[in-house]
Amino acid sequence: MVDYLAIEASHHGLLEKAEQKLQKAKFEVARYKGEPVRGRLAVAVAFFDPEQQAWKSGTGGLPMGGSVSDAVERRVYERSKELEVYKESQPAELDQPLRLIKSQLCLVHPPGQPMEQGRVVVEYYVDRNGKIRLPEVLESDSEYLTKSALLTLEASQFEPPLRNGRPTFVKVRQPFNFG
């Protein structure tokens, strides 16, 4: 696995644990006619709390009610209103526009030749830490320009995106114009 991005969680506090599990997971390379190919895979990480640690630490509801009506009212392990679901945000939903805090233009060109001119369009996510994740080239005028755009993104960092004061992630489509 080259990269991953948690795209939904019932609580943003579960993201770090889910990412730790994904980092430890073993995946086989996807192949077509024996050759490795790029692919995307959706993985669901489910958490089970048999020792009821969430309840004991005060971060979850009581596992059982004093009565059936208490349990129904609480709906065992119901999310409280202040614990918002983690999911993708649209740029307009962010508390403030994305702000680039680190970037370095990386130019790749054939040896002994000048930099090519052209355009590359890349779609990527900015994760809850401001890191650029899962870049995908949508269009490009040359392989060298593609490498330039991807290396520039790899060296870039955004201020972490927030929606209603909570961490989120957002999809970005960015054109690169060289020349």
Q: What is the mean pLDDT of each run of 10 residues along the chain (179 residues)?
A: 75 78 82 85 70 60 48 47 73 96 94 94 96 96 96 97 93 96
Q: How much is the pLDDT for 107?
A: 94
> What residue numbers bound the domain in which 30 lies?
8-47+84-178
Q: Which amino acid is at 104?
A: Q
Going by C-alpha positions, the residue among 164, 163, 87, 161 that lies closest to residue 172 is 161
pLDDT of residue 150: 97
Domain membership flag for residue 76: no
Say what the pLDDT of residue 130 is.
97
Q: What is the pLDDT of residue 79?
A: 46
- Calculate the CA dihedral of residues 86, 171, 16, 60 and round it to 10 degrees: 0
Q: Give the pair of three-digit tokens for residue 4.
A: 């991953």
What is the predicted pLDDT for the residue at 145?
97
| Within-domain flag for 62 | no
Give the chain's largest Cα–Cα span: 79
Q: Tell me, what amino acid is at 167?
A: P
User: Is 126 part of any domain?
Assistant: yes
Report if residue 57 sits inside a domain. no
Q: Is residue 13 part of a domain?
A: yes
pLDDT of residue 100: 96
Report pTM: 0.73
Per DSSP, 60 falls in state S
Domain total for the chain? 1
d(C-alpha 56, C-alpha 63), whole Å: 10
How many Å apart are CA 91 and CA 67, to the nearest integer?
Answer: 45
Give 166's strand partners.
163
* Domain annotation covers residue 66: no
Query: What pLDDT, on a 0 to 100 scale, did the predictor assign at position 43?
Result: 75
CA within 13 Å, CB half, 14: 21
In a domain, 3, yes or no: no
Which DSSP category does 74 fall into? H
Q: How far apart are CA 168 and CA 90, in angstroms?
A: 10
Q: Indicate whether 65 belongs to any domain.
A: no
